[in-house]
A and B are shown apart, each in its own frame.
Chain A
Amino acid sequence: MTETSTPPVVTVTNLIKQFGRFAALRGVTAEFSGGKLYAILGDNGAGKTTLLRTLAGLNNPSSGEIAILGSRKFHSICQQVGYMAHPSLLYDEMSGLENLQYFAQLYGITNSARCSEVIRAVGLDPDLVRPIGQYSQGMKQRMSLARALLNDPKILLLDEPFSNVDLHSAAEMVRLLTGLRDQGKTIFVVTHQAALLEGAADEFIWMEYGNIVERTRDFKRDPKRELKT
């Protein structure tokens, strides 16, 4: 499972992640080049979210190695990574801007306009004073994406960014992501709505039973392979 067109920014070697007796990742080995948009697909329980969380340094690998931007220590490159999870990772009692202003301080971002800038980039109004708890699910998802973009990361890890987002907004998000990819960022998107990324993603990564089983350029699997698995 390698790709050699440009030097890899993420290298995963024989990655195993076990939760008790259950192995969520079973020896994943792959290389991912920079400046590409990867769509990670698979059924529930295939290991997509676990892979993303492990790349984000939130799960410690049971064995195997991950190198991101040449570093095996996540903390030394965490400034270069943006992570968006399925839950919003935002405080319900604060407004979007207040949330982002807090997280900006964690990254040492002193440019006060940056928070408003990323909120506008995801199509929301930075002056909205409503607390996040009163946002619609789709608005929460977009604000969550804004939080992930706050530190202008080189690598974006996005878990289900389009869930509960209306079709028009999802298309806007895809346009934003392809724009970011064109700026040289590497983007991993875990999704069940792969059709949204057709024509936008550079590669579709298919996962089954805790492993990558296929990598395709378009949103179609090799029928023989599909039958086998």
Chain B
Amino acid sequence: MSPPTGIARATLLKDLRLEWRSKDSINSMLFFSLLVVVVFSFSFDPTAEESRQIAGGLIWVAFLFAAVVALNQTWAREIRNQVLDAYRVSPAPANSLFLAKTLGNFIFVTVLEALMTPLFIAFYRLRALGPIWQLLLVAMLGTWALVVNGTFFAAMSLRTRSREIMLPLLLFPISIPALLAMVQATTAILNGEGARFWIVLLATYDLVFTTVCLLLFETVLNAE
């Protein structure tokens, strides 16, 4: 058997190849985020100061909803033709699949963020008063928080009849501490205030939930 990292790498490359060919996740996420930016920009006409106050919440809520679209797609691919069963009968470890899926989703959401952030800046005339590297750190930690839980709960809701509704119902409540930390940290950095506490909270959240998800994923994968 290949080492777990080799299997995770092979699965990640396979997912990137499938996404490159179908563009299911990235197209739906982009379209959804674009709608949010445009609709909100029509609804509000904030000043630069007001923008800094609301942008953190707006950006992360848009990314959270868009990420759900990608998360549902990730596993939908595996249950079409029951391909997941082929993985389950193989000697490949469950956690390799989980890590590959989480990394894949991280890449998709990061690409979305990279494309949408300039639009947010333009539409809301944003200018950060705090250090940009801290914003990048919050973006990375926040995105990981969304995708690690999202990948896990999407797998959990895989066999439920209304899984597209089930995923947000499971994911959003558990993401509240992370979402709070992301929004507060982003708002603080945009306003040039200290965000150390929120960044530490976010990093701790990531560490705890990544560990828990890795410990429980095999049970979730083999649940009937």
Residues of A within 8 A of B (CB): 56-60, 75, 78-79, 81, 83, 85, 87-94, 98, 102-103, 105-108, 131, 147
The 4 closest A-B pairs by CB, nearest first: A89-B86, A105-B10, A108-B1, A106-B90
User: A58 and B88 in contact (CB under 8 A), knowing A102-B10, A108-B2?
Assistant: yes
A92 CB to closest chain B CB (Å) equals 7
14 contacts between A and B (CB under 8 A): A58-B85, A78-B90, A83-B86, A89-B83, A91-B77, A91-B83, A92-B81, A94-B14, A94-B18, A102-B11, A102-B14, A103-B86, A106-B1, A108-B2
Does B80 count as interface, using CB distance less than 8 angstroms? yes
Does B6 count as interface, using CB distance less than 8 angstroms? yes
Interface membership of chain B positions 77-101, coded 1 if the CB is closer than 8 angstroms to chain A and 0 otherwise? 1001111011111111000000000
A108 to B7, CA, bound (A): 9
User: A56 and B22 in contact (CB under 8 A), knowing A90-B83, A92-B81?
Assistant: no
Find chain A residues with CB under 8 A from B1 CB.
79, 106-108
Contact yes or no, B224 A60, CB < 8 A: yes
User: A85 and B10 in contact (CB under 8 A), knowing A75-B91, A93-B18?
Assistant: no
Find chain A residues with CB under 8 A from B89 CB.
56-58, 78, 81, 83
In chain B between 59 and 73, which residues have their CB closer than 8 angstroms to a CB of chain A? none
Find chain B residues with CB under 8 A from A107 CB.
1, 90-92
Which one of B17, B22, B85 has the highest number of Cβ atoms from chain A below 10 Å of its Cβ? B85
Find chain B residues with CB under 8 A from A88 CB.
81
B34 CB to closest chain A CB (Å) equals 25
Find chain A residues with CB under 8 A from B21 CB.
93-94, 131
Residues of B within 8 A of A (CB): 1-2, 6-7, 10-11, 14, 17-18, 21-22, 77, 80-83, 85-92, 222, 224
A90 to B1, CA, bound (A): 20
User: A106 and B87 in contact (CB under 8 A), knowing A91-B18, A94-B18?
Assistant: yes
B15 CB to closest chain A CB (Å) equals 10
A87 to B90, CA, bound (A): 17
B178 CB to closest chain A CB (Å) equals 32
Main secondary structure of the interface of A (DSSP, over half): loop
Find chain B residues with CB under 8 A from A94 CB.
14, 17-18, 21
Find chain B residues with CB under 8 A from A103 CB.
86, 90
Contact yes or no, A106 B14, CB < 8 A: no
A64 CB to closest chain B CB (Å) equals 16
Contact yes or no, A83 B85, CB < 8 A: yes
Beyond A59-B224, A105-B2, 7 extra complex contacts between A and B, CB < 8 Å: A58-B88, A58-B89, A78-B90, A88-B81, A89-B81, A90-B83, A91-B18
Contact yes or no, B224 A91, CB < 8 A: no
A188 CB to closest chain B CB (Å) equals 14
A15 CB to closest chain B CB (Å) equals 15
A91 to B20, CA, bound (A): 14
Contact yes or no, A106 B2, CB < 8 A: yes
Contact yes or no, A79 B6, CB < 8 A: no
A20 to B10, CA, bound (A): 37
Find chain A residues with CB under 8 A from B87 CB.
106
A25 CB to closest chain B CB (Å) equals 14
Which residue of chain B is the closest to A53 with respect to CB atoms? B85
Which one of B22, B87, B88, B90 has the highest number of Cβ atoms from chain A below 10 Å of its Cβ? B90
Find chain B residues with CB under 8 A from A98 CB.
17
Contact yes or no, B90 A91, CB < 8 A: no
Which listed residue (A60, A79, A81, A106) contacts B10, Cβ 8 A?
A: A106
Which listed residue (B18, B77, B91) contacts A79, Cβ 8 A?
A: B91
